[in-house]
Each structure stands twice: as C-alpha cells, then as structure tokens.
Amino acid sequence: MDDMHFDLVVIGFGKGGKTLAAALGKLGKRVAMIEQSAAMYGGTCINIGCVPTKSLVHHAEHPGAGTPPERHRQAVEATRALTAAMRGKNFAMLDTIDTVTVITGKATFLDPKTVRVAAGEDVLRVTAETIVINTGAVPTVPAIPGLRESTRLLTSTDLIDLDHLPKHLAILGGGYVGVEFASTYAQFGSAVTVLDAAPRIMPREDEDIAAAATAILRGAGVEFVSDAHVTGVRDIDNGVEITYEIDGQTHTLAADEVLAATGRTPATEGLGLDRAGVRTTETGAVEVDEHLRTSQPHIFAIGDVNGGPQFTYISLDDYRIVADQLLGGGKRSTRDRKFIPYTVFMSPALSRAGLTEREAVARGLPVKVVEKAIADIAAMPRSKIVGETRGLMKFVVDRETDLILGATLLGVDSQELINLVTLAMRHDVTATELRDSVYTHPSSSEAFNEVLGTPPVRTH
C-alpha cells in the first residue's frame, strides 16, 4: 500500500469541495481530491442533479421536431453531451493545478488523519492535516414491500438517463423532486400519476400556492392521488403494479415505471466515520458545528452530507465558511445565512424566500398579504410576450415595519426574480422601496411595481 501526504484531502468532487481544493491548490498547498467515480467529476449538480434535470426541463418546455419519444431521446442526448462537457471542464479545473492530485477510488477512513483509497486492486493510503467530507447525498428508496426488488424502479439518477420515454410514469412523493419530474415528463408526453401520502403536494407551501401549482400541473395532464399509503409494488408483464390504500380501501395502479421521489439521504455509508471518530446525526448526516467542523476539529463536512439545505449554492457557501477557517479570520459561520431562496423547476417555476403566510401568522406577526395572478399583472407584458401567463406572485409584509417577511413567486422568470427579492430582504429594503424602484421594460421584475402597490388581500 503506497502512502501519500497532503495538506488537504477532500473526499467528494462536489461544488464546495472542488472550489476549496482549487483555492488552496492555487496557493501552493498540496491537495488531494478523492472521487469514487470518473463519471462524477464535478459532483452531483452537473452530473445527476441540477444541470441534467434543468436541461430536461428546458427541452420539455421547448420541444423539437418529431414524436414525443423522439423529442425525449433528443433531450436526453443533448443533456448527456452537456454534462460530459461540464464534467471534463471540472476535471481540468483541478488537474491543471500542479499541487492538486485527483485520485479516483473509494475512500474509507482508517483513523482520524488517514484515508484508504481503493480502485480495484490498487490501494493508496493518504494522510492530511485537514480533511473535508463532501460526499453529498443519494436518493432515498422507501421500505415498501417489493419496491427495491422491482426492475421498474427508478431513482432520479436513473430517470434523467433513461433512453425511452415511459408511456405511464408513477411517482411516489408529491414533494419538490416529484413535482419537477411530474411537470417535465407530462410535457414530454408521458401519462403521469403522483401518489402522495400527504393530503396535498408541497406541504411546506401555503395552501393557495399549492392549489395554484396543482391546477397548473393538472392542466399539463398530471394526475394526483392524495392520502395514498403505498403498501406494495410488484412487477407485471411490461410494467409494474402499485398497491395503495386510501381510507382503508385498497386500490391498484399499473404503470411502465415507478419513480421513488421521497428525498435524499446523506452519503456516509462505507466511509468508516466511526474509525475517524466523526459523529453522525439521527438522520445519518455528519454532525457539524456552525463552522462546519465535525467532532474531529481538523475534519470538516460540507454540502448535502452535513444535513443542511440540499442546494448547490449552500455547498458553495459552505466552502466560504471553511476557507475562512483555513485561510481567513475564522468569523464566517452558518449563522450568517439569512433568507435562503429556493426554486422548484416545474413549468412555470415556483420560487420562495422567507416565511410563508402560515408561518408568519403562527409566529403572531402583524402582516399583510399582497397577491396577484400573473395573467392580471398589466405591468408585466413579458409574461404575455413569452406566452406564459400562469401562476401568481405573493408577498407577506410586516404591517408595522413595511419589511418583506416572505415572498412566493410562481411564474415566468421566478428563479431570477427571487434573488432580487431575497437581496432586498437581507438588506432591509422595504416593500415600498421595492415597489417604487425603476426596472427595465419589458421585464418580469417590473411586476413588483404593480403587485406591491395593490391593496392587501388579507391582514393578520
């Protein structure tokens, strides 16, 4: 077994880890980037996450010529080419730095400062003064009888690389991942049925928002079965049969494939964290403090593996925190994060930052709610220009301070608009200031002039 020593070892090629590796490598530090698969250079986002899924969303919204299966196939091929190109650039980003070594193999801790890396019969033992765990998360497959054994089971990783278009896709879970894939594959031409154990999709959103999203998805052909407790899955000729119960009554659904869209689990299996003395939480995430240090002060955990919000941009901010610990003043922490936005890339996209109306009321805050349907916003001609007038804008505003407590934007360009709103919220820009700002025309942001100037639909 060969031995190598580094200043920094990063396990996992995700956003935060690769950025940290590059930053320290450029300063002349000896860095090892360990990635278990060459197919994952660059991390989850560009290979099996954000980039390929949003590429498919784009192609579903802007279909090319041909039959639905042909258009789907073209979209998959274009997505594969895109991810391959980005994977190569990500590898080159580190490989061209003289002091950075990319090692492909499975990493396992031997002790707090030693990691064993195996690739077939080849084995390395690497040591480092600082180690960063950046292994991400993997799709969760629920323990439903027959599901894991089914040859028709798909995870999100499987679905984005599926060569054929399912005629009927069953989706287990009405959360954000399930909704995105339901929207995308309905537009490709699949019949889509979402089986959800909850009374409605998107339980974290306000009821009016979830209702608007549901109406849009139903309009695209998605069928929803709520309060459905799935009890079994079995393969049948040319497909799969799903058994579920509603109010004690048993029902069955036949489909071509079944997608498990029930969350993601931190990828810690096989890392040997116990040998490193690294503690994990009840959910299996690596336990970290506000500076992302584990129970071993020289070992950090960043990205999805530490149990925080599972967003690429959070992984990038994790990099900033660790870099500040290693190179800066050590003051930056997760406590600095305020109003983190997110987007669900259904069509049109749903984006939110801050409190929902329900959360604000539960806290006893004095709020007013302003809300308007996209189709009714006269000051937003862009939605009509691009032919996407579905959705609504909703703001929750503090009646006493005029500060925006939360915003939910369901409509065209919401993934961009939410960043402007979030910046305003972080810097205490009032709703009146946002309303009276000057925006380019025709743009989606000028809708704020009108929406924030409308009388409140509710006050609390």
| 339-341-342 Cα angle (round to 5) | 150
Span of 106-110, 218-222, 308-312, 320-324 with lowest mean pLDDT: 308-312
In the annotation, is 441 catalytic?
yes
Contact status, residue 348 vs residue 388, Cβ threshold 8 Å: yes
Checking if the pLDDT of 1 tops 80, the result is no
- Residue 88 annotated as part of some ligand binding site: no
Task: Please pick, among 5, 58, 441, 460, the residue that the annotation labels catalytic.
Answer: 441
Q: CA quadruple 221, 222, 227, 232: dihedral positive or negative?
A: positive
- Residue 9 annotated as part of some ligand binding site: no
Q: What mean pLDDT do residues 70-93 have?
A: 95
- Residue 178 annotated as part of some ligand binding site: yes
Residue whose token pair is 């070594």 = 101
CATH H-level, domain 153-262: superfamily: FAD/NAD(P)-binding domain (3.50.50.60)
Checking if the pLDDT of 2 tops 90, the result is no
- Residue 205 annotated as part of some ligand binding site: no
Inter-helix orientation angle 176-188/207-219, to 10°: 20
**What does the mean pLDDT of the chain come to?**
96
- For CATH 3.30.390.30, the residue range(s) in the chain are 342-459
pLDDT of residue 355: 98
The CATH number of domain 342-459, selected from 3.30.390.30, 3.40.630.90, 3.40.309.10, 3.40.50.300: 3.30.390.30
pLDDT of residue 264: 93
Contact status, residue 29 vs residue 7, Cβ threshold 8 Å: yes
Strand-strand pairing, 106-111 and 100-104? unpaired
Domain 2-138+265-336 belongs to what topology?
FAD/NAD(P)-binding domain (3.50.50)
- Residue 174 annotated as part of some ligand binding site: yes
198-229 pLDDT, tens digit per residue, is 999 999 999 999 999 999 999 999 999 999 99
Q: What mean pLDDT do residues 311-317 have?
A: 94
d(CA 315, CA 379): 37
- For CATH 3.50.50.60, the residue range(s) in the chain are 2-138+265-336, 153-262
Q: What mean pLDDT do residues 85-107 have?
A: 96
Q: Find, among 260, 247, 56, the residue nearest to 170 by Cα.
A: 260
pLDDT of residue 349: 97
Tokens, residue 252: 């069955």
Provide the percentage of residues in the chain whose pLDDT is more than 70.
100
CB neighbour list of residue 408: distance below 8 Å, 6 or more residues apart: 205, 206, 209, 350, 351, 352, 356, 393, 394
d(CA 31, CA 104): 14
Q: Find, among 136, 131, 135, 170, the residue nearest to 154 by Cα.
A: 170
In which band, very low, low, confident or very high, does the pLDDT at 64 lie, cut at 50, 70 and 90? confident
